[in-house]
Amino acid sequence: MPDKIKSRVDTLISNMSLRAKIGQLNQPETPTENNIEEFKEAVRRGEVGSILMSVGATAGNDAQGEINVDFYNELQKIAVEESPDGIPILFGRDVIHGHRTVFPIPLAMAASFNPELVCRCYRDTAIEATNDGVHWTFTPMLDLCHDPRWGRIIEGTGEDPYVGAGIAKAVVEGLQGDNLSNKDSMLACAKHFIGYGASEGGRDYHRTEISDYSLFNYYLPAFRAAIKAGALTVMSSFNDVSGQPVTSSRKYLTDILRGNLGFEGFVVSDYDAVIQLIKQGVAETPEQCAAMALNAGLDMDMHDKCYIDNLETAVKKGVISESVIDEAVRRVLTVKIRAGLFEHPYTEKKTIDRSKHLADAREMAAESIVLLKNNGVLPIDKNSKVGLIGPFANERRSLLGSWTIDGKAEETSTLSEKMREEIGGNLNVINSAALAWDSTNKNIAAADVVVLALGESWTATGESRAVSDITISAEQKALIKKAKTYGKKTVGVLFCGRPIAIEEIAEDLDAVVYAWHTGSEAAGAVSDILFGVKTPCGRLPVTLPRKATHIPLYYNVTSSGRPVNCYYGENPGNCYVDSMPTPYYPFGYGLTYTTFDYSKPVCNNSKLSLQEVKNGKKFDISVFVTNKGENSGKETVQLYIHDACAGMMRPLRELKGFKKAEISAGKTVKIDFELSYDELGFYDEKGNYIVEKGKFEVFVGKDCLTNNSLEIEII
């Protein structure tokens, strides 16, 4: 911390009463009409350090209304001009994947494999949200998840820690900009620390079991990257880890987060998480809850008033030291100063031209869409007669996805509208009541291509929206079967938030476009892909299983001692005798409108000593990629490693690099990678980073199942 900031914080704290200090650690939600005057008095007394600009525990699923900038400026004026210490309030809101302009859900953005574009989209988001008075947003959500039944998988980056780390960096840098104190910069909040995505059975808020080895190697890398990128706030998670609630865990919030990861900002609880320690069975009273959480390293209490109602008494009883409160306040004030809140506490609303943001949203949506199957039907010739059928043909709201508080469905185009812009009268939107069709439906008979707009509602995803069956509805499956009987080329467009079980869906379609919930420009981006205006280039950041009963199914597994590494096709009949347990579509998979050939990867220094690697020398890997088709296209070249023999079991494949390259038809490009000390090691169960001597298989190709490989060795 710079001496100037430290001195300023010291001065502030020295003049504050105990009550005012605790007030800085208190985050109530936005007041309602029933308690506005009472709330203003609390602000006037200095008892409000931050305001949650929403109402309710599941704000991402509940209507919140538009932000009243004048109202928040009024509250800020009271804090700055009338409270004892004049400390401004920090306003926080769930701006998860866009503000008025809605970008794809974070899981879909991960499918772009384009961190630079992700960063640009979050810069757009910060510009819009700060103009509405938002100082702080509760994203990026970095919960690695292996179970798509969990509704909040849509907010994360999927199953891979390397992708998660890259997206974490991009989001933090996009939100916070070049200078955090600028008026259009917004504080990022890395959440949920830690292990929330491992909720047992995909059931939201439930227990987790995570070994320390898995914690350091799978669940922490994205948080480490967010902190390194400058994230100054972290949100703790509701869940326990192996019987220890994170909310009251000094191990996780202090020893690991601050000690191992080097975090210097402040930790905020999730909604009502502190009082939940009673329900979790580790505290008996709210006072105990408050003392346990603060002693663990949790600085700010969201909503439940445990801190503001109990910490004064706890100090008087000697249950907690005022010096512990001082340290928490010090962290909160430091962040407020670094965010420039003291210099510009009020919002001066201005008109924003969103045309660039919408263009970025369309580009982001197009790069997120994954083409899973194409039997020569795509792209569709614009002179073709196209029949559009299905529940998503005229859908607006679900295209935005869950955790979209400020986007507007009425501003969101439907797929039918955007397709009609492309082909006009050649589009016929057909009644989707599949069972009402007769065998001589003239509209189907007249079509050259049938597009089925399918998917899941936004209400089936998000917080407290776990499902037991990760597939589309029986009615939609029947629609696919019915469409197939007409003998037409059939394209399925799947607007989904989570990965779905895709067996008995993909087989009956000539092409499958995984469109996710891709935001304000979803319909336009899908239309661009269908008619070849844009070439698909998204890649799966998660595995698509055949059946829901196969989950968890993820690529970066360790080897079984028996020959049943089923993800990779090794004797799959020995995993389940009643079904094929291999992924339907593996991690990293995606097609485009051309064909790419790979050369054998080469390394010009395939053996390096351990000391050379520690000193910074790298393995230089290169591969030539040739576009063999007639269309230009973007290829995401992926590099995986396998540590063949190590002190701990290592994954059969783990992603350690990717490059997205646009390659013209008939052209060859050279793609270079570097493998350094940072990519070749692992963490032990104590969090120590280890690089060992030994051989590594290096795979370079289109997805995690590639066998295009070479060997390197640390000697």
The confidence score (pLDDT) of residue 59 equals 83
Domains of the chain: 355-550 (3.40.50.1700), 594-714 (2.60.40.10)
The confidence score (pLDDT) of residue 1 equals 66
Percent above pLDDT 90 for the chain: 94
Q: For 416-466, give the DSSP string.
A: HHHHHHHHGGGEEE----GGG--TT-HHHHH-SEEEEEEE--GGGSSTT--
The confidence score (pLDDT) of residue 145 equals 98
Region 571-583: what's the mean pLDDT? 94
Q: Indicate the range of 59-63, 126-130, 284-288 predicted with least confidence.
A: 59-63
Residue 442 pLDDT > 80, yes or no? Answer: no
The confidence score (pLDDT) of residue 435 equals 40
> How do 633-643 and 694-701 pair as beta strands?
antiparallel
Residue 281 pLDDT > 50, yes or no? Answer: yes
How many other CB atoms are there within 10 angstroms of residue 265's CB atom?
23
Region 245-256: what's the mean pLDDT? 98
Q: CA-CA distance, 328 to 9, in Å (whole number)?
A: 12
Q: CA-CA distance, 472 to 452, in Å (whole number)?
A: 13
The confidence score (pLDDT) of residue 41 equals 98
Q: CA-CA distance, 225 to 358, in Å (whole number)?
A: 28
Residue 652 pLDDT > 90, yes or no? Answer: yes
Q: Indicate the range of 435-444, 576-585, 586-595 predicted with least confidence.
A: 435-444
The confidence score (pLDDT) of residue 63 equals 83
Q: At 75, phi and psi to the nearest 5?
A: -65, -40
Catalytic residues: 270
Residue 443 pLDDT > 80, yes or no? Answer: no
The confidence score (pLDDT) of residue 268 equals 98
Spatial CA neighbour of 126 closest among 169, 167, 175, 91? 175
Rg of the chain, C-alpha, whole Å: 26
Region 313-329: what's the mean pLDDT? 97
Is the alpha carbon torsion for 127, 129, 134, 137 positive or negative?
negative
Q: Indicate the range of 53-62, 142-151, 271-280, 335-344 predicted with least confidence.
A: 53-62
The confidence score (pLDDT) of residue 291 equals 98
Q: How far is CA 540 from CA 148, 198, 312, 335, 584, in A?
A: 13, 20, 51, 36, 12
For 243-255, give one letter per residue: b (16+ CB within 10 A) or e.
ebbbbbbbebbbe
Q: CA-CA distance, 316 to 549, in Å (whole number)?
A: 55
Residue 430 pLDDT > 80, yes or no? Answer: yes
Percent above pLDDT 70 for the chain: 98
Residue 61 pLDDT grade (very low, low, confident, very high; cuts 50, 70, 90): confident
Write down the H helix ranges in 339-431: 355-368, 397-400, 415-423
Chain centre to alpha carbon of residue 144: 9
The mean pLDDT value of the chain amounts to: 96
Q: Indicate the range of 60-64, 472-476, 686-690 predicted with least confidence.
A: 60-64
Q: How far is CA 569 from CA 329, 584, 588, in A?
A: 54, 11, 16
Q: CA-CA distance, 372 to 587, in Å (whole number)?
A: 12
Residue 60 pLDDT > 90, yes or no? Answer: no
